[in-house]
Structure 1
Amino acid sequence: MDTPAPGRRRGRSLTHLVLRLAAAAGLAIDAAVHARLADQYDAVGDSLSQGTLFRLESAAASLAALLLLLWRHRTGDLFAWAVAASGLGALMLYRYVDVGAIGPLPNMYEPVWFTDKTLAAWAEGVATAALTVLLLDRRRRRPRPRS
């Protein structure tokens, strides 16, 4: 089995570190924005308010950032990717489509861009992109079974 040269391994490690830090920073920004905005959205919704959903997003993004920095395991990376990608997907969906209320989820349609929404979108996008590269690179590196 071929072992990568030490310099190449070091370069890959540095790249992974940069990707991991970029994703963690994006998730931390996402968590901060959602935590800061949560109380402004408490009135949106009946059984489950949009403010509560913002708090859940903030908690999930915080946990994902910590997992990226402290655990460094594929499962944590997948969780972080799911948090970032679903946050970005929800943000874009409710920005451009009036979905209406779905079960306990309130109608979160908000067809405007403002500073915090733009910041959250960029942060989630950076995190999603960095984690996608990290996860795809890991899949390629898996050792192949010997025949």
Structure 2
Amino acid sequence: MRFQIRPAVLTARLLAAAGLAVDAYVHADLAPQYDAVKATFSQGGLFRVEAALAALAALLVLAWRRLPADVFAWAVAAGGFALIIIYRYVDVGEFGPVPDMYEPDWFTEKWVAAVAQLVTVAAASFLIVSDLVDIRARRHRTPVR
């Protein structure tokens, strides 16, 4: 049964990494357009941080292939998606050092980032469950004598 699960895990890793790469690209590409929106931090700077975190998560999902990397990938994507939704539907206003990032319009890049983040959340959720099943199986394995 373990052999049958591996292709699904590989597919999930590739989907998660691809979603994170798209997220990183979109945020890096949009960052200069948002540099003027600022409090202590600019929205462009925050977009660059999201791009860097998404790129790092994509590399970790592909190269490290461990539970902490999968949880990090999930957190980056879920957090990014949550912020897209919050700043689309709620005018939070300036919040401490974070600028007012309310933007009620859906445009192509926002849709692309949101879909990429949701794909990543789904794939990383599968990876986390798979990791936990593997960890449990290793703990309950009978030692060979």
TM-score by length of 1: 0.91
**Aligned pair 1:106/2:99, yes or no?**
yes
Segment of structure 1 superposing worse, 117-126 or 134-143: 134-143
Cα distance per residue 1:68-108 (max 9 Å; x no partner): 11111111111111101100000111011111111101111
Give the equivalent residue in structure 1 for 2:13.
Answer: 20
**Number of aligned residue pairs:** 140
Deviations along 1:96-130, one digit per CA (max 9) or x if unpaired, are 11111111011110000000000000000000111
Moved more, 49-58 or 92-101: 92-101
2:120 matched residue in structure 1: 127
Q: Say which SS state the counterpart of residue 98 (structure 1) adopts.
A: coil
Percent of aligned pairs with the same residue? 55
- Tell me which stretches of 4 or more aligned residues in structure 1 moved more than 4 Å: none
| Mapping 1:1-147, distance limit 5 Å | 8-141=1-134, 142-143=136-137, 144-145=139-140
Deviation at 1:140?
Answer: 3.0
Deviation, structure 1 residue 137: 2.7
Residue identity opposite 1:115 in structure 2: T
**Structure 2: 5+ residue stretches without partners:** none
1:145 and 1:17 map into 2 onto residues whose CA distance is 24
1:9 CA displacement: 1.5
Normalised by the size of structure 2, how large is the TM-score?
A: 0.92
In 2, the alpha carbon distance for the partners of 1:44 and 1:104 equals 12
TM-fit CA distance, 1:145 = 4.5
Residue 25 of structure 1 aligns to which amino acid in structure 2? A
Residues in 2 aligned to 1:46 and 1:108: alpha-carbon distance in whole angstroms = 10
- Please tell me the root mean square deviation across aligned C-alpha atoms, in Å: 1.5
Shift of 1:51: 0.1
AA partner of residue 87 (structure 2): Y
Stretch of structure 1 that moved more, 137-146 or 81-90: 137-146
